Amino acid sequence: MIKKDHHLQEHLRKAGFKSAIVPIHRLIDLKVEMEGLLKEHQFNNDFIEEHLSRFSFEIPIDLPSAKSIIITAVQQPKVRVKFKLNRKIYPVIIPPIYSYESDQIAIKIFSKFLVKYGYQIRDAVIPEKSLAVHVRLAYYGRNNIAYIEDWGSYFRLKAYFSDLSPEDDNWNDFALTDNCKKCTACVGACPTKAIRDDDFIIRAERCITYFNEGLDEFPEWIEPQWHNCLIGCMICQEVCPLNMQYKNSLDDGGEFTEWETQMILEGIPSHRLPIKTKSLLKKLGMLEDYGVLQRNLSVLIFHKF
């Protein structure tokens, strides 16, 4: 008899996903571990609180019978989006992890399978990289990025709670990729010196991604020319040997007209944008991050190009 969790994973595999399922009690392990890592590396209390507040380590109220955490990974390229301003085209990059369209594909697979057997799922906002590494779905790089064999770091992770009972508990210690044990390319490439040469926990308070995902103004010590993506950062991933065969893979994300670009740069609230503009932003995964779009795009257009 095929185990139900293995059956679900086979459905996901056929759709291009890699996946793993662990018992729900690993949620506490993730929380304790995250708290320990942040304190061990001597981040200040405000930073620790802000970082932990991104996650929810509680079982969903509307799924009290949750028995497992399911994590999926799907290969994704970078996305190139074009903004037009003053009759000039500005091509900008969105890293692989920010496109949410693949989540909907996974949801359809879950729905079809889980309805058949009477199970449910709920979104899980947890440390997905840590979970993926613990279940050997991925390995940590020296730059604190997760890598998957044959995919490099060009993929998206997504976690879910479910009342499906897992048959196994494939939990392992953190592991660094073998390549990273003898390579420091990312250490030398990072302009902010956020990457350590002796630890996979980066100096997050110096990471460009940390700042351009937030709403505060950039610190004065961040040079405008260091910005390279509409959100996030690809500098350490672009020089990584594990990514050499994927770094030139790009999806066309479409183009914003001069009028649309001007509205974004002027800070027009998202609810006042044309439906077409909001639809494109949503497709790109940027509607949710619209609050940082004006600032990040302004830096790229007026200081980077």
Q: pLDDT per residue over 270-298, tens digit each?
A: 999 999 999 999 999 999 899 999 999 99
User: What is the per-residue pLDDT for 42?
Assistant: 62
3-state DSSP assignment of residue 160: strand
4-14 vs 101-117: helix crossing angle, rounded to 10: 150
Say how many C-beta atoms besides its own lie within 10 A of residue 55's C-beta: 16
Q: How far apart are CA 197 and CA 232, in angstroms?
A: 21
Q: What angle do CA 174, 179, 180 make, to 5 degrees?
A: 60
Please enumerate in sequence order all residues whose Cβ is within 8 A of that of 183, keeping only pairs 6 or more positions apart, or say none: 142, 241
Comparing CA positions, the residue from 214, 215, 209, 217 lying closest to residue 192 is 209
Q: pLDDT per residue over 86-102, tens digit each?
A: 999 999 999 999 988 89
In this structure, what DSSP letter does residue 161 have?
E
pTM: 0.91
41 vs 157: which has the higher pLDDT: 157
Encoding tokens for residue 12? 């996901």
Q: pLDDT per residue over 119-150, tens digit each?
A: 999 999 999 999 999 999 999 999 999 999 99
Q: pLDDT per residue over 181-233, tens digit each?
A: 889 999 999 999 999 887 778 888 899 999 999 888 999 999 999 999 999 99
Please enumerate in sequence order all residues whose Cβ is within 8 A of that of 187, keeping only pairs 6 or more positions apart, or say none: 142, 195, 196, 197
Contact 282, 254 (CB under 8 A): no
Contact 279, 102 (CB under 8 A): no
Contact 202, 195 (CB under 8 A): yes
- What's the full length of the chain, in residues? 305
User: What residue type is 136 in one-letter code?
Assistant: R
Which contacts of 136-139 are long-range, i.e. CB under 8 A and separated by 24 or more positions?
Answer: 136/20, 136/170, 136/172, 136/175, 137/18, 137/19, 137/20, 137/71, 137/73, 138/73, 139/175, 139/176, 139/177
Encoding tokens for residue 258? 């001069």
User: What is the per-residue pLDDT for 305?
Assistant: 67
Contact 162, 119 (CB under 8 A): yes
Q: How far apart are CA 35 and CA 103, in angstroms?
A: 28
Q: pLDDT per residue over 35-65, tens digit each?
A: 887 777 766 667 667 777 889 999 999 999 9
User: What is the per-residue pLDDT for 35?
Assistant: 85
Q: Given CA atoms 22, 24, 29, 30 in this order, what sign does their dihedral have?
A: positive
Encoding tokens for residue 97? 């992890």
Average pLDDT of every residue of the chain:
91
Q: pLDDT per residue over 57-75, tens digit each?
A: 999 999 999 999 999 999 9
Mean pLDDT value across residues 17-39: 91
User: What is the per-residue pLDDT for 1?
Assistant: 36
